[in-house]
Amino acid sequence: MRQSQLFTKTRKEAPADEVAKNAQLLIRGGFIHKEMAGVYSFLPLGLRVLDKVEDIIRQEMNKVGGIEMRTAVFQSKEVWEKTNRWDDAVVDNWFKTKLKNGGEMGLSFTNEEAYSNILKQYISSYKDLPVYPYDFKSIFRNEARSKSGIMRGREFYWKALYSFSRDEAEHAVFYERMKTAYQNIFNAVGIGHRTYMTFASGGTFSKFSHEFQAITDAGEDSIHLDENSGIAVNKEVYNDEVITELGLRKENLVEKKAVEVGNIFSLGTKFSAPFDLKYKDKDGEDKLVIMGSYGIGLGRLIGTIVEILSDEKGIIWPASVAPFAVHLVDLAAGDNDVSAYAEKLYNELTACGIETLWDDRDARAGEKFADSDLIGIPLRVVISKKTLLEGKVEVKMRSTGGTTIVEKEKVFELARGCDTTTATK
């Protein structure tokens, strides 16, 4: 895409009321627009990142046998009364609204009830199980505070998968597969090295749930991490008994601030019981379905990537989720030879399927470089009168800052190298 056709522009300053680094950088770079506290629109650059994160998650969900659907935002009172979660006194972060001709409806804040209600229609025999439906959708939570940018939205976009299994043994096998899928996702989006599986509070049906916590000072959670084993314990369940049970040693644990970028949870029959979600087993006996839930907030994940992978100049996108693979910057400044060369290279890169943002604007070199650092595309390719005379181009990796002069052909190789994840799209 030509940058002159991208309607967004970079900004020197974020809105004064925006205190979170992730939102400040994303707003300044033109990735998101703040509608109000905790509510952001995704501008073209931001949507490109969101789509890539979504595709990475989708691939992992499909690999474990997930089947995608899309549930409605509006939730009916009758369905939620089955689990006693309709009442605002029970769930304190509902957004509700009213039908013109009477009747209240809720806005999705989670999906257990909707899924249990739908699956109830289709599950009757052991042959119908297991199934692993999932959803990408907008979720709404009436949070009192919302100061963490896109890491804690009142409106946010998430993936939720629910597992419906015949028994605890079948559930346990899938649960382990999801641990691996989640690790794969956090590795793929570039924060695997900072993300730890963390024991957190469970519920009636399991002692622990598992959170994936990414270490950053911007986090709202505290975890106790054993860096050697890579195992962590959420502060909420941290005590001597738990430490012993998990085979950890207190002296090896370090307290860290972290963001919960994903969680997986064994639900047992908590939802299948109130929905009477049963199947007939091979002996004709009625049994309750065993459920699990597996969530990832995409905005929070993107916010965390920005918190971890950024410097004083801007964002440093991993290639897998970068809005473009190459930022082609021409310093033509009115020189037609330079523009023509840049256009030719832009067309060649695009024809090769290498996603390229071409800064074809009539602007000073310093401004173009500052914008490029802020937007954070992995590979920058600079075309100037000087490089043109040498018959070469200048390349710079955003992550290392190192600049080299290379043959034009080398750009294709470098771009592919830094674009391996998106290439699988």
Out of 16, 89, 99, 169, the only residue in the binding site for a copy of itself (CB under 8 A) is 99
Quick note: the x/- pattern for a copy of itself over 140-179, rule CB under 8 A, is x-xxx---------xx------------------------
What's the CA gap between 6 and 335, in Å, rounded? 22
Q: What is the DSSP string of 236-250?
A: GG-SHHHHHHTT--G
Q: Single out the segment in contact with a copy of itself by CB under 8 A; choices: 117-125, 235-243, 288-296, 338-346.
A: 117-125
Tokens representing 190 are 């570039």
Quick note: the x/- pattern for a copy of itself over 122-141, rule CB under 8 A, is xx---xx--x-x----x-x-
What's the CA gap between 325 and 342, in Å, rounded? 16
Out of 12, 13, 16, 70, the only residue in the binding site for a copy of itself (CB under 8 A) is 70
- The count of residues interacting with a copy of itself (CB under 8 A) is 59
Q: Single out the segment in contact with a copy of itself by CB under 8 A; choices: 70-78, 186-194, 309-317, 391-399.
A: 70-78
Quick note: the x/- pattern for a copy of itself over 359-398, rule CB under 8 A, is ----------------------------------------
Out of 74, 90, 176, 201, the only residue in the binding site for a copy of itself (CB under 8 A) is 74
> Does the footprint of a copy of itself cover residue 100 (CB under 8 A)?
yes
- Going from the C-alpha of 94 to that of each of 109, 148, 153, 157, 235, the distances in angstroms are 7, 20, 14, 16, 26
Out of 63, 81, 87, 93, the only residue in the binding site for a copy of itself (CB under 8 A) is 93
- Touching a copy of itself, residues 5-34 (CB under 8 A): 5-9, 30, 33
Considering only CA atoms, which of 127, 92, 128 is closest in space to residue 109?
A: 92
Residue 61: phi, psi to the nearest 5? -65, -40
Q: What is the DSSP string of 200-234?
A: EE--SS-SEEEEEEEE-TT-SEEEEEETTTTEEEE
Neighbour tally for 138: CB within 10 Å: 12
Tokens representing 419 are 């674009």
**195-201 and 326-330: which strand pairing?**
unpaired
> Does the footprint of a copy of itself cover residue 200 (CB under 8 A)?
no
Considering only CA atoms, which of 272, 263, 319 is closest in space to residue 293?
A: 263
Considering only CA atoms, which of 188, 207, 189, 208 is closest in space to residue 198?
A: 208
> Does the footprint of a copy of itself cover residue 42 (CB under 8 A)?
yes
- Touching a copy of itself, residues 46-65 (CB under 8 A): 46-47, 50, 65
Out of 61, 107, 200, 306, the only residue in the binding site for a copy of itself (CB under 8 A) is 107
Footprint of a copy of itself (CB under 8 A): 4-9, 30, 33, 35-36, 39-44, 46-47, 50, 65, 67-76, 79, 92-93, 95-101, 105, 107, 114, 118-119, 121-123, 127-128, 131, 133, 138, 140, 142-144, 154-155
